[in-house]
Amino acid sequence: MTNTRKSIHGQWSSRWAFILAATGSAVGLGNIWKFPYIAGENGGGAFVLVYLLCIASIGIPIMMAEILLGRRGRQSPVNTMRTLASESGRSPHWQWLGWGGVFSGFLILSYYSVVAGWALAYVFRVGSGEFTGVTAARAGALFTELVSDPERLLAWHTIFMGMTMFVVARGVRSGLEQAVRVLMPALFVILLLLVGYALNSGKFAEGAAFLFNPDFSKLTADSILVAMGHAFFTLSLGMGAIMVYGSYLNQHVSIGRTSLFIAALDTLVALLAGLAIFPIVMSHGLEPGAGPGLIFQSLPLAFGHMPGGQFFGALFFVLLVFAAWTSAISLLEPAVTWLVESRGMSRLKATMGCGVAIWALGIGTVLSFNLWSSPLFAGKTFFDLLDYLTANILLPLGGLLISLFAGWLLTREASLDELGLGDGPAYRIWRVLASFVAPLAVAIVFLNAIGLV
């Protein structure tokens, strides 16, 4: 039976609007530095091949499952799971899967906003010429000065949360869709400009080789686990964002083809980021290290010694802000939709309530880099604890349960109806991947993350 439910929050105007929004949710800070780095360190092209296989067998099937559930329920993740469990004759406790997604997004956005605030600060710091001609020691000191100042961090965190709340409060068409229609094309244009800039760095071939040359000797069991984990996390799965975006998707849009397109765009961003970053870093003899060290110390140092570096450096951090902003919007949306549906709030009040609560929780992350830098528990700061809880426990569990529910517990008729693949080979392949391959892979990633494998 065709699903005739309608979302009270509205609907994407087109398939392309959904693709931009879902790609915006998937593309985040991790795409810009993490994927290129782990690819280079784990065999380059050999790792990319394994990663693409993992995207096909883990990421895309779970993304299809999450969109399927969202479009079938047409509500917030909590109410969607409650409704679908009831229709399938399953326990109402499956609503806790929806709650887990909302809770994950809430926690992640609280610290994601703080780190995005760093990028926002660096747009102006690099653009004003603060890094022109600096030494490596001075570049490191400038970053330390920023994170050591709780008032400055709080100010940038507040500005970024305000930007996110502004978009979400405006609704699906006027807020989310309008934002991604501008931000995502701009993100790709900036990336291509930066790749063009890197072409003139003198080390483009070396940077491309670091990213693409296959070195199977570096491909270990750990490399495969890294590829499996990143294939899952990079698509923004398990946190309710894709589910709630799926609830706004037109009934006639193909979930399978759309998921393939989103995964391809997400991977393209990661590869372009590597081609933009590594030649610039290598041209100055710097190590392509991961994390904040690469983004907030090595790269500003490199831009500070290159012709046009002031402009292109600022442009790079605008890129980071755009990537973070589109992800942040999707993290806030699930909680807002639940308040609108279940508490009868206006979207503006729901956004304000959630946004202020997330902002307040983010103060803990702000202080983790200065006044609360001492470990609170198990050698971890407040920020470390939130990061560990979400990345290693909540998100893998969410993805695992989404896959199991869609593959095993949702009625066959419902999944056939939503996917629109017909009862043929394509549907059967998805069902095998979603029911067996993806859950097993995510379970291994989860057990490895908590130290049991």
Over the stretch 424-436, which tens digit does the pLDDT of each residue have? 999 999 999 999 9
Residue 249 φ then ψ, to 5°: -90, 135
The yes-or-no verdict on residue 292 having pLDDT over 80 is no
What pLDDT score was predicted for residue 106? 96
pLDDT at 120: 97
| Average pLDDT along the chain | 93
Which of the two residues, 297 and 150, has the higher pLDDT score?
Answer: 150
Q: Is 302 inside a domain boundary?
A: yes
**Cβ count within 10 A of residue 18:** 24
Is residue 6 situated within a structural domain? Answer: no
CATH number for 92: 1.10.4160
Token readout for 187 is 């993100």
253 in any annotated domain: yes
The residues pairing with 380 across neighbouring beta strands, listed in sequence order, are 377
In terms of Cα–Cα distance, which of 317, 262, 307 is closest to 59? Answer: 262
- Name the pLDDT band for 2 (thresholds 50, 70, 90): low
Residue type, 364: G
Closest CA to 164 of 116, 210, 202: 116
Structure token pair of residue 4? 């005739």
Does the structure show a pLDDT above 70 at 290? Answer: no
Task: State yes or no: pLDDT of 247 exceeds 90.
Answer: yes
Q: State the total domains in the chain.
A: 1
Q: Does the residue 7 lie in any domain?
A: no
Local confidence band at 322 (pLDDT 50, 70, 90 cut-offs): very high
**pLDDT level of residue 286 (50, 70, 90 thresholds):** confident
Which tokens is 266 given? Answer: 């997400």
pLDDT band per the 50, 70, 90 thresholds, residue 289: low
Provide the sign of the torsion angle of the four alpha carbons 411, 417, 421, 424, taken in this order.
positive
Handedness of CA 324, 326, 327, 329 (dihedral sign): positive
pTM for the structure as a whole: 0.94
**Per-residue pLDDT for 37 more than 90?**
no
For the segment 95-110, the average pLDDT, to the nearest whole number, is 96
The verdict on residue 357 lying in a domain is yes
Rounded Cα–Cα distance for residues 401 and 210 (Å)? 36
At residue 252, the 3 state secondary structure works out as: coil
pLDDT band at 30 (very low <50, low <70, confident <90, very high): confident
Mean pLDDT of the region 337-366: 97
Q: CB 174: neighbour CB atoms within 10 A?
A: 12
- The answer to the question of residue 9 being in a domain is no
Return the closest-CA partner of residue 367 out of 145, 97, 147, 92: 147
Query: Which of helix, strand or coil describes residue 424?
Result: coil
Q: What range does the domain containing 313 cover? A: 15-449
Q: Which of 239, 255, 234, 327 is nearest to 67 (CA)?
A: 255
In a domain, residue 252? The reply is yes
Answer yes or no: is 10 within a domain. Answer: no
Q: Is 394 helix (H, G, I), strand (E, B) or coil?
A: helix
The pLDDT of residue 215 is 87
